Amino acid sequence: MRLSRFNLLTFTLLTLATAQATQADELALSLRYQKPVNEEGRLFHTLTRDEVWKAEETVLIVCDVWDSHTCKNAVMRVNEMVPHLNKVVTEARNRGVTILHAPSGCMDFYQDHPARQRAINAPKSKKLPPEITQWCYKIPAEEKGVYPIDQSDGGCDDTPEEHEVWQASLAPLLKDSKWPWRREHKAISIDPKKDYISDQGDEVWNIMEDKGIKNVILTGVHTNMCVLGRPFGLRRMVENGKNAVLMRDQTDTMYNPRSEPYVSHFTGTDLIVSHIERHVCPTITSTQFIGGKEFRFSKDKRPHLAVIMAEDEYRTNETLPKYAIDPLGKHFRVTLINGNSNERNDIPGIEAIQDADALMVSIRRRVLPTADMKLIKDFVAAGKPVIGIRTASHAFSLRNEEPPAGFGDWKEFDAQVFGGNYHNHYGNKLVSMVQVMDVDHPVLKDVPRKEFKQGWSLYRTSPLKDGTTTLMTGTVEGQEPEPVTWTFKRADGGRSFYTSLGHIDDFENPAFRKMLLNGILWTLNKK
């Protein structure tokens, strides 16, 4: 039967509407998680997997986004985050996701609100999980890891002076209550016809069971406390079989940089997110709902440093993770990328360098899949900073071999990126002494000018290319000095820093540690 022109148009519009509705009911998410590199479980690959969730089977929980707090800086960060968070809440609601507001301890404020009554009146679940009304401080999977921060002081990062003034301003609120919060932050919209309000684990479970919810997205604060531990938090949800994720750019921690591991507040948050991705559940970002860029607090000025570790001889897979905390954790957002322990020419998670401001390379004689090698070449071609230690001079060059089909090498990496000229090394048993050049250069700031012993063999690196500035040389008895540390201004306009030091013993030397930090900062043109 032939359709009339009118009926054909109607049929087409209905088909498009149905397709759009189906698309709107599905959430295409990219879940980031971490997987151990090997059985030892000390190092991890950061990976992603794509999943499609049904919106009607998903709840977004807004955890403890209160109107006030005992910590001033925590309040300032929440105030900055909530406009972005409200966009996420609104978009998720429009796409059919259930919104559950969970400002703990504030139920009296909402006792007559339709969203609160809706939560109370949800049909009772026939089988509540054990301990669903109680906090959860650890799940078995976390026993495999080490909790990354010390939050025993409560985590407030106010200075003593500003905290005293802030506490005085809260005095009227604290007359009748132990805590200053009374409600959810008013910048978060609550739909009286659709949303729910609850801080009780059994009520939250009733709602999820009634609506057939399988998937849980946690937003809000504070990640290391309420978001993880509340009866409706990540641990309880995972423990009881829900597909739970943290929205990692819509959260904050209670962490004081004056506590271990003595990193910036924002690095403290990164460490908790990493702990969650390793031992609790995956994470997502707000961009998967509202597009644009990931939310970042205005005071988080840390450059993003990606560190690739894919060499076995000098144990940088042991030294660099520690160095990423002390001292880099005070200054940088660091992403650690490990080589595959089973497949030499594979570096899982290497795509993370696309978001990096600088790249540190500790790789030895590996070739990469063509697409992955292109990521490295594109990073360099963009004029971005590159830092190389030890075997980075022969990172992508095989010995008298051609790469397998589908893989690419970069024999000129040393010359083109570092201005270097690596051509083997002196014997491992020959003692090499390193001399610091008598030059005024930012990389040598606060580096002692006295001679020191190199951790391992001296590389043959001379002569260097034009555009390099030698800062340290090494000498073995009876031989001419060889450049050990230098800077290079590349043809693409980028800055590179290289040192042939980098043995595990070198990282015990304060002069090397300080020089490496200065070198990273120099490539970024920062003091």
Contact 184, 106 (CB under 8 A): yes
Whether the pLDDT of residue 2 is over 50: the answer is no
CA distances from 130 to 124, 136, 218, 240, 366 (A): 15, 11, 21, 9, 51
CA distances from 330 to 263, 265, 287 (A): 4, 9, 27
pLDDT score recorded for residue 41:
84
Q: Name the DSSP class of 303.
A: P
Element (H, E) at 233: none
Please report which confidence band the pLDDT of residue 7 belongs to, taking 50, 70 and 90 as the band edges.
very low
Please report which confidence band the pLDDT of residue 14 belongs to, taking 50, 70 and 90 as the band edges.
very low
Whether the pLDDT of residue 4 is over 50: the answer is no
Q: What is the dihedral of CA 485, 313, 278, 62, to 10 degrees?
A: 10
Contact 471, 493 (CB under 8 A): no
pLDDT digits (tens, 9 = 90+) for 407-452: 999 999 999 999 999 999 998 889 999 999 999 999 999 999 999 9
Q: Is the peptide bond before 463 cis (omega within 30 degrees of 0)?
A: yes
Q: Who contacts 494 (Cβ-Cβ below 8 Å, separation ≥6)? A: 380, 382, 383, 384, 385, 386, 523
The whole-angstrom separation of Cα 455 and Cα 501 is 7
In the chain, the amino acid numbered 520 is I
The whole-angstrom separation of Cα 94 and Cα 269 is 30
Element (H, E) at 8: helix 5-24
Q: What is the dihedral of CA 239, 240, 243, 245, to 10 degrees?
A: -40
Residue 449: how many CB atoms within 10 A of its CB? 10
pLDDT digits (tens, 9 = 90+) for 159-215: 999 999 999 999 998 888 999 999 999 999 999 999 999 999 999 999 999 999 999
Helix, strand, coil in percent for the chain, rounding step 5: 35, 20, 45
453 beta partners: 433
Please name each of the domains of the chain with its CATH number: 26-290 (3.40.50.850), 304-523 (3.40.50.880)
pLDDT score recorded for residue 515:
97
Query: What would the mean pLDDT of 508-519 be, rounded to a whole number?
Result: 97
Average pLDDT of the chain, as a whole number: 94
| Strand 304-310 relative to strand 368-369, pairing | unpaired
Rg (CA), the chain: 27
Residue 426: left (phi > 0), alpha (psi -120 to 50), or beta? beta
pLDDT digits (tens, 9 = 90+) for 328-376: 999 999 999 999 989 999 999 999 999 999 999 999 999 999 999 999 9
pLDDT score recorded for residue 173:
87
pLDDT score recorded for residue 24:
54
pLDDT digits (tens, 9 = 90+) for 37-64: 998 888 999 999 999 999 999 999 999 9
Whole-model pTM: value is 0.92
pLDDT digits (tens, 9 = 90+) for 373-404: 999 999 999 999 999 999 999 999 998 889 99
Phi and psi at residue 245, to the nearest 5°: -140, 155
